[in-house]
Amino acid sequence: MINIENTGKKHPSPEEILTKRKEAGLTQTEAGTLVYSACRTWQQWEEGNRKMHPGLWELFNIKVSIIIDEKSL
C-alpha cells in the first residue's frame, strides 16, 4: 500500500493567482475554464474573497505548463 501524506500544500495567495494567470497570458474566463470554474469564482480567488483549493491550483499550474510547452514547439 502506498502512503501518501499531505505535503504541506497551502492555498495560493490572491497575488500568486493573479500573477500566474497574467504570466500565462490568460483572461479570468480562460483561467477559470482550465480548472472547470466560473469566471466569477476566479475573480473571487484573485480578490481574496474565496480561497482556491490547492488541488485546483496544482491543476492550473500543470495545464499552464502544458500550454506554454505547446506554444514553444
Average pLDDT over residues 26-44: 99
pLDDT in tens, 36-73: 999 999 999 999 999 999 999 999 999 999 988 887 87
Specify whether domain 14-71 bears CATH 1.25.40: no
**pLDDT higher than threshold 80 for residue 25:** yes
Residue 7 confidence (pLDDT): 55
Q: Model-level pTM?
A: 0.84
Three cell numbers at 28?
479570468
Terminal Cα-to-Cα distance of the chain (whole angstroms)? 39
Confirm if 66 and 26 have CB atoms less than 8 A apart.
no
Phi, psi (rounded to 5 degrees) for 44: -65, -35
**pLDDT higher than threshold 70 for residue 1:** no
> DSSP label at 10?
-
pLDDT in tens, 6-16: 456 799 999 99
* Sequence letter at residue 13: S
Can you tell me the distance from the alpha carbon of 32 to that of 60, in angstroms, rounded to the nearest whole number? 9
